[in-house]
Amino acid sequence: MKILVIKFMHIGDVLLITPLLKNLKYHFPDAEIDVALNKGTEEMVTENPNVRKIHIYDRMKIKNLSLFHRLDAEFDFAIGIRRGNYDMVINLNSGDRGLLTALFSGAKERVSFLSSKNTFLNRFVTRALSRLQLRHWVDINLDALRVLGKEPKEKKVEIFWKEDVDNIIDELLKKNALKEKQFIHFHPVSRWLFKCIDDKIAAEIIDFCQDTLHLPVVITAAPIKEEAQKVEDILSLCKTAPLNLTGKLSLKETAAINKRSLMYVGVDTAIMHISAANNVPVLAFFGPSIPYAWGPWDNTFMENQYISYRGNQSMGKHTILQKQWECVPCDAKGCHNLGISDCLMQMDIEEIKEDILKNAKG
């Protein structure tokens, strides 16, 4: 049996399909499981023992091609899927691209979200998925298993990397005199800057960890101009000097250094989900994001513990700090879609310190 799982989304979204991949392998042990992903997200499933092959859709490259070459590239990608001769395709996208890919695959079994725009496509879906409210994306993805008449045996989000990645991080820690489980991993930036907290509060967090708790801080961020500038703005307000690794690590290396940290402090982004997958305690700042859908998943649980629509809440070792304002969460790109979230600009530094201190004491 050959199964293709489609997830044309972002890095964190792809990581959250790993419980489904493992459960598919459990229930269909002889199956060959492939995935189709956007370029740049594949590190979330490379080295995963449940994945045989990855089809990478280079969205940005194809988007910038001329019309003729774009159509040619789209066709080549679709033909690559078709040649996989899949028996089953599971589309975990609500948009039409994933559904069209599933239909073109030629698979007899097509598990998919239904299209809201092109409803005529829905007649070709053999088992329909629906995004029910008040649920985490780990569970939403696992619905693909349930519509097949199977139940999940576990719900662990997992990321894997090779030994050479560990060796690189071991050398990096040694070079900077950092000891395992004796430093804080701080990731203050998201590609969506409306998810960021105030720079002054971010600087206070760094100084509190380093000056008061005597715990070194390691900062990570993507090799993107906007993220690097955001980090520089924060560092300009610091009284202490953390180790700034902005743009210097791959996603796998970031995961490996996170695994060695005492805890993760930072914004709602893919690295937050990686930390939870590593079973490293998370303190996450939530603004527009919906906690029950996107909170850091604790691998020791089978049921979602984020049950409130807004506000501070926890799932096992992981904590979300979020305002109780009526407008939160808005699921928008900042207040009035202007790129800045007032609720995140006004996070309570004392609440943040209290949670960090709790983890520091063990």
Cis peptide before 329 (omega within 30 of 0): yes
Instruction: Report the C-alpha gap between 22 and 29 in whole angstroms.
Output: 10
Token duo for residue 58 = 């280079």
Mean pLDDT, rounded, of the chain: 95
CATH architecture of 164-360: 3-Layer(aba) Sandwich (3.40)
Nearest to 343 by CA among 267, 265, 283: 267
- Residue 362 in this model has a pLDDT that exceeds 90: no
* Residue 39: how many other CB atoms lie within 10 Å: 12
3-class SS of residue 37 = strand
Overall size of the chain counted in residues: 362
State the pairing for strand pair 88-91/2-7.
parallel
CATH class of 2-146: alpha beta
Percent of the chain with pLDDT over 90: 88
- Residue 118 in this model has a pLDDT that exceeds 90: no
* Mean pLDDT computed over 77-104: 94
pLDDT the model gives residue 350:
96
- Residue 160 in this model has a pLDDT that exceeds 90: yes
Instruction: Report the C-alpha gap between 128 and 92 in whole angstroms.
Output: 11
Q: Per-residue confidence at 176, pLDDT binned at 50, 70, 90?
A: very high
pLDDT the model gives residue 50:
98
Can you give the residue ranges of every domain in the chain? 2-146, 164-360
- Residue 131 in this model has a pLDDT that exceeds 80: no
* Mean pLDDT computed over 239-258: 98
- Residue 106 in this model has a pLDDT that exceeds 90: yes
Q: Sign of the C-alpha dihedral, residues 38, 344, 133, 96?
A: negative
Q: Per-residue confidence at 60, pLDDT binned at 50, 70, 90?
A: confident
Nearest to 189 by CA among 221, 146, 217, 223: 221
Instruction: Tell me whether the CATH fold assigned to 2-146 matches the one assigned to 164-360.
Output: yes
* Mean pLDDT computed over 63-69: 86
Percent of the chain with pLDDT over 70: 99
Q: Which of 68-77, 189-198, 221-230 has the lowest mean pLDDT?
A: 68-77
Instruction: Report the C-alpha gap between 75 and 73 in whole angstroms.
Output: 5
229 CB burial (10 A radius; 0-12, 13-18, 19+): middle
H or E element, residue 97? helix 96-104
3-class SS of residue 40 = coil
Instruction: Report the C-alpha gap between 176 and 241 in whole angstroms.
Output: 12
Angle made by CA atoms 225, 333, 114, in degrees to the nearest 5:
110
* pLDDT tens-digit readout, 297-354: 999 999 999 999 999 999 999 999 999 999 999 989 999 888 999 999 999 999 999 9
pLDDT the model gives residue 3:
98
pLDDT the model gives residue 70:
87
